[in-house]
Structure formats: structure tokens, C-alpha cells
Amino acid sequence: MRDETGPAARLRLLFVGDAPEWLGAVRLAGGLFGAEITSVPTVGAAIRHLLGPGQVYSHVLAAAPLSAAEIETLAGMADEITHRATPLLSLGTQPPPGVDATHIRCPEPARLGEALRQAAPFPGSATGGAPLTSEAVRDGLNAGWLRLRYQPMVDARTLAPVAVEALARLHHPAHGILHPRDFVPQAIACGQERVFTGIMAARAMLELRGLPLKGLRFGINMPLPVFWFEHAVERALELASVSGIGAERIAIEVLETEETPALTRLEAALLRWREAGFAVYIDDAGPAMPHWRALAAMPFTGIKLDRCLAHQAQQSLAAEIAEVARERGLHIVAEGIETAAELERARAIGVDCVQGYYICRPLPGLALPVWLNQKR
């Protein structure tokens, strides 16, 4: 919500916390700038507020005392749920390592006006400036800049939650909040795909372990070079055991990184994963995957359609893929669902599950239970 019609239209503040001196400063600064102010006492209340329809803010202000996990959750809500990447001002609280790129720290109430003036939306992708290099991605992974979001999947008919997919974000101080398409190719180019996948999987298992998400399945993306790495299954079983999340609740979504994969090698790896108890999905089936029929003939658990249903010219292909998948007994997921019309198209071709912005945007881990409680 950042048009240029004036301060009143530009500033809409969400204050989170129970600190009277900071709330007084926010009200004073808001009055000076003509800002609209909404105050909520807890992070849980802020999450519920940000999940509401039309709740778009120019700034989120987090007052002490808040934990590092709570601040990181607010940062995730700000850069995923709001209209665009929204500055998070830490009021009297030092941001935790790895999220300060999306923060502006305001150490004392008297400096709040100055902090609001300097706050600007953090870049949402690697556009402009120097190109993102493989070395920068490697350094970012080693520095702990990787963050996870979780996007729910729901039953296509009932819209009941059935699973969540872990999605990676790299909070880079120079390039902004990067999505996988912006940094995974560079990670693979410098041989960091196993490091990236290992960090992502370990963090997801630890974050999800303590959340009340009984009955949900969990999906995680895996580049092809990692999927057929000979020790990958053993490492995944170790993580599943430590987290208390059984292999039967984990779905591996294979990210293809080769135009024509070695099908014999792929099938051998697929059998290892399936024998260990994991579900395995073909990811991003669509016009960019001309060999999808050959993959559908393999013993996969399911198939995920890319955004075919959003494009009229690709809808017949989506229906064809779904028909073949049903014949093979594959579970069908349509991702990228952003409108009611796309949901109806998914239902019409017999999709089992859907995910996308129309259902829910990607969420920080601590926000998942709040969203689920709204749906149950």
C-alpha cells in the first residue's frame, strides 16, 4: 500500500506488542505523518490480523519484549503476506541473525520518526545491480541466510488442509528476498545443491516437529542431483527419525535440472526412496516437461501440475496429464492456483489437491497453526 498520493495513504502501521512507551511514540509519530495505526498485543493476534482480507500495511512495528522466533515470524509475514515486502521495524529489540536485512532497528522511542523516514520496501527479487553469483549464494547459505516458508495444500473438493510444502527463501543483504528460481540454479552451478537441500530439510524437520500439525503430510523439493545421490535416502531417514515425523508423512518433490534425465538412474533412485517409505512426486509437470509421459510410467506416488490451469492455451495439456495420471493411479496436485476459476478448472479435470495464493500464501512456521485453526 505505497502509492504516492500523500503520507496518509502511504503510511498504515501495524504495532505489535505490549509496551506503553513505544505505543505512545507510535501514536505521536503516526499523528505527525498522518498515519493510520492498528495495535495488537501479541504476535498471534498480528498473524490473525495479517491473514485477514485486505490487511495491507506500509510498516510492521515489533516492540520489545519479543523473542527472536517471534520477530522472524513477523518478518516472514511481512515479506510474504502483505502486498509487497514490508519493512519490519524492531523497536528496542536487536533483530536475530539472518533477518536483519528486512529490518530497521529503532533503539529508542525518540528516534521512531527517523526510522519511519528511512524505512522503504526491501527488494523482492534479484533485479538490478550486480548479478547474483554462485559464490554469493554459497556465502549466503554458509552465513545462515536461508529461511523457510510453508504453503498449505488442501483437498480440491472440500478445501480441508491435507499437507504443507516447505519453500526456501534466501535473505540476501544485497539482492533482497530471493525465491528458489533466483538462487537454486546458482547453488547447483557451484556444487552447493546438497548443502542447500540438507540445510532446508534439517530446518524444516526441526521447525515442524514442535507445531500442532497432526495428520498433515509434508512436502520438500529436491534437485535431481540430490535425489539420486547414493546417501540421500539414509540422511533423510535420519532427519525423519530425529524430528519424529515418519517417512510415510514426507513427500519428496523432484526438481528436474536436466532437459532429458537419465531415466534408468532416476528409476533406481525412485525405487530406493519408495522402499524407504517416502512418497515421491513429479514436480512442475507442464509444457516445460516434454517427457512427462515417460516419468508418469515410473513408480511415482503422484504428479504436480505447474500453472497450466492459469493459461487457456495449456488447459488441454493439464487435462491430458491428469487423465494419464489417473490411469496410472497417481495422486494429482495442481499448484499455483490463484483464482476461483482456476480452482474450478482443477476440480473439472479431477485434481485431488490444490495449492496456491487463492488458498493461502506461504507462511512462516509459527503462523501455520493460526491459519489451520481458522480452517478447522
Over residues 23-61, the pLDDT tens digits come to 999 999 888 888 889 999 999 999 988 887 666 788 889
Q: Does the bond joining 261 to the residue before it have cis omega, within 30 degrees of 0?
A: no
Q: In whole angstroms, give the CA distance from residue 203 to residue 221.
A: 13
Domain holding 322, by residue range, is 134-375
Sheet architecture: strand order including 59-63: 36-40, 12-16, 59-63, 88-91, 103-106
Residues 321 and 261 grouped into a single domain:
yes
Residues 54 and 166 grouped into a single domain:
no
Residues 159 and 308 grouped into a single domain:
yes
Last residue of a domain, which of 118, 152, 178?
Answer: 118
Residues 155 and 49 grouped into a single domain:
no
Mean pLDDT of the 102-109 span = 79
Sign of CA dihedral 82, 87, 88, 91: negative
Domain count, the chain: 2
Q: Is the pLDDT of residue 86 over 90?
A: no
**Which of the residue ranges 154-163, 184-193, 226-235, 287-296 has the most confident prediction, judged by mean pLDDT?**
154-163
Residues 363 and 247 grouped into a single domain:
yes
Rg (C-alpha) for the chain, rounded Å, is 22
Q: In whole angstroms, give the CA distance from residue 27 to residue 8.
A: 14
Residues 66 and 154 grouped into a single domain:
no
Is 112 within the bounds of a domain? Answer: yes
Last residue of a domain, which of 85, 118, 151?
Answer: 118
Q: Is the pLDDT of residue 213 over 60?
A: yes
Q: Is the pLDDT of residue 2 over 60?
A: no
CATH of the domain at 37: 3.40.50.2300
pLDDT of residue 124: 41
More confident of the two residues 261 and 164: 164
Residues 140 and 277 grouped into a single domain:
yes
Over residues 126-146, the pLDDT tens digits come to 444 567 888 888 888 888 888
Residues 113 and 191 grouped into a single domain:
no
Residues 105 and 156 grouped into a single domain:
no
More confident of the two residues 137 and 313: 137
Q: Is the pLDDT of residue 166 over 60?
A: yes
Q: In whole angstroms, give the CA distance from residue 140 to residue 195.
A: 11
Is 262 within the bounds of a domain? Answer: yes
Last residue of a domain, which of 118, 143, 174?
Answer: 118
Residues 70 and 196 grouped into a single domain:
no
Is 128 within the bounds of a domain? Answer: no
Residues 140 and 105 grouped into a single domain:
no
Is 306 within the bounds of a domain? Answer: yes
Residues 89 and 230 grouped into a single domain:
no
Residue whose grid cell is 549466503? 140
